[in-house]
Amino acid sequence: MLQGHQTWVYESKPVIIGTAAIGGPFESQGGLAADFDMFHDDLWLGENSFEKAEKKLLEEACETAIKKAGLKKEDVQFFLSGDLINQIIASSFAARTLGIPYLGLYGACSSSMEGLALASLIVDSKFAVNALAATSSHNAAAEKQYRYPTEYGAQKPPTAQWTVTGAGAAVVSQQGEGPKVTSATIGRVVDMGLSDPFNMGAAMAPAAVDTIEAHFRDLNIDASQYDLIATGDLGRIGHRIAGDLLKKHGIDIPEEKFTDCGILMYRSDQPVFAGASGCACAATATYGHFINRMKRGELKKILIVATGALLSPMSYQQKESIPCIAHAVSIEM
C-alpha cells in the first residue's frame, strides 16, 4: 500500500527468514567481524580475476541465506540483485549459477535496500512465497573501475573510503520466524553538484537526509519510532554532514540512535580513511550485525537507509556531477 508520496507499507509484513554476510580478509579484522557467516583470507578467492571473486562471494551469500532459511533454491521464486561492476555482471553471473528467476537492479551502494524493498513488495503482493535479495562489492574490482587500480599505488585524500569486499543476502517470505519488513521509502535522485569521486560521503549525505525526511513525512512519525537509524556508507565525513542537514531541516535524531554502516564496519585503527563503502557495506552490516542484534533482543525496530552514488567512469570523464540516491527500509522484530 502506498502511503504519502514515496513510501510503501507492507500489510502482510514479510518475514526475513534467512540472511548471510560473507567478507574478505580486511573485513575479518573489522568492527563487525563477529557477525559475518564466513571470511576469505585473500582477495582472489581462488579465481583468476577480482570480478570472478566477487561473483563467488555473491553466490556464497545467496546459498548460505537460502540454507539458513531452511529452503532449497527451487523454493525461491525470484532473485533480486545488483552490484558495482559494469553491467552488474557479478549479479547476472551469480543468477546463472543459482538458476532462480532474476531481476537485475542498479542503485550503486543503495542496491541492498532497493532489493529488499522490492523483494518485500513482491512477497507482500502474493506474487511470490519466497524472494531473495542480495548484493556484493569487491575492493579491488571497484578501485580498478572507479578510481585507480590498487597496483598503481595512488595516494588518496582523507575523504576517500574503503570499498568492502563482501556480499550480503536475505530471503524474504510470506511466513516464518524472524524480523519483519514493515515499510520502505523509495528515494529520489539528489544532486548537489559535487563531482569528487574521492568524497562520496559528502555527495550522498543530502540524498540520505531527503529520504529520511520523506519517510517521516509520509508515515507521520519521527525518530522516536526507531531504536536505531543507520545510513549505508556515508563514512565519518558524510555522516557528520547528514547530521548537520537533519538539524537544519528540523529533524531531531539523537546521536546514540543515528549511525552509519561505513563507520561501524572497520576498527578505528584500520587505514580506511573516512570509513567503508560499497554495495556490501550496508548489506553485510544489516544482514549480519543488525539482524543479529534484533534476534538477541537488543533492537526492536530499525531503519536502514542505504545510500548510492550513481556515477560511472564515463560520466566522471565527461565532467558530470554525482547524482545520488537513498532507499530506506523499516525492519521490526
The residue that leads in pLDDT, 257 or 151, is: 257
Whole-angstrom CA distances from 283 to 20, 22, 286, 311 are 9, 10, 5, 20
CATH number of 180-332: 3.40.47.40
Question: Cβ neighbours of residue 289 under 8 Å, at least 6 residues apart?
Answer: 21, 32, 35, 264
> Which parts of 77-189 are beta strand (E)?
78-82, 102-104, 130-137, 162-163, 166-173, 180-185
- What pLDDT does 147 receive? 80
Residue among 188, 194, 192 nearest 210 (CA):
188
- Asked whether the beta carbons of 175 and 302 are under 8 A apart, the reply is no
In whole angstroms, what separates CA 153 from the centre of its chain?
Answer: 28
Beta bridge partners of 167: 22, 136
Q: Which three cell numbers stand for residue 122?
A: 513482491
Per CATH, 2-173 and 180-332 having the same topology is answered yes
Q: Where are the domains of the chain?
A: 2-173, 180-332
pLDDT in tens, 272-285: 999 999 999 999 99
The whole-number average pLDDT for the span 7-18 is 98
Which pLDDT does position 155 carry in this prediction?
87
pLDDT single digits (tens) 223-245: 999 999 999 999 999 999 999 99
The CATH class of 2-173 is: alpha beta
Overall size of the chain counted in residues: 333
Lowest mean pLDDT among 53-57, 63-67, 157-161, 233-237: 157-161
Residue 318: what pLDDT? 96
Burial 315-332 (b: 16+ CB within 10 A, else e): ebeeeeebbbbbbbbbbb
Model confidence pLDDT, tens digit, residues 120-140? 999 999 999 999 999 999 999
Distance CA 251, CA 260 (A): 17
Which residue from 8, 20, 96 is spatially nearest to 52, judged by alpha carbons?
Answer: 96
Reduced to 3 states (helix: H, G, I; strand: E, B; else coil), residue 3 is strand
User: With contact defined as beta carbons under 8 Å apart, do 129 and 173 qualify?
Assistant: yes
pTM for this prediction: 0.97
Strands 78-82 and 38-39: unpaired
How large is the average pLDDT for residues 1-26? 98
Measured in whole angstroms, the distance separating CA 71 from the mean position of its chain's CA atoms is 23
> Could you tell me the pLDDT band of residue 88, with boundaries at 50, 70 and 90?
very high
Band the pLDDT of 200: cuts 50, 70, 90.
very high
Q: Give percent above pLDDT 90 in the chain.
A: 95
pLDDT at 148: 77
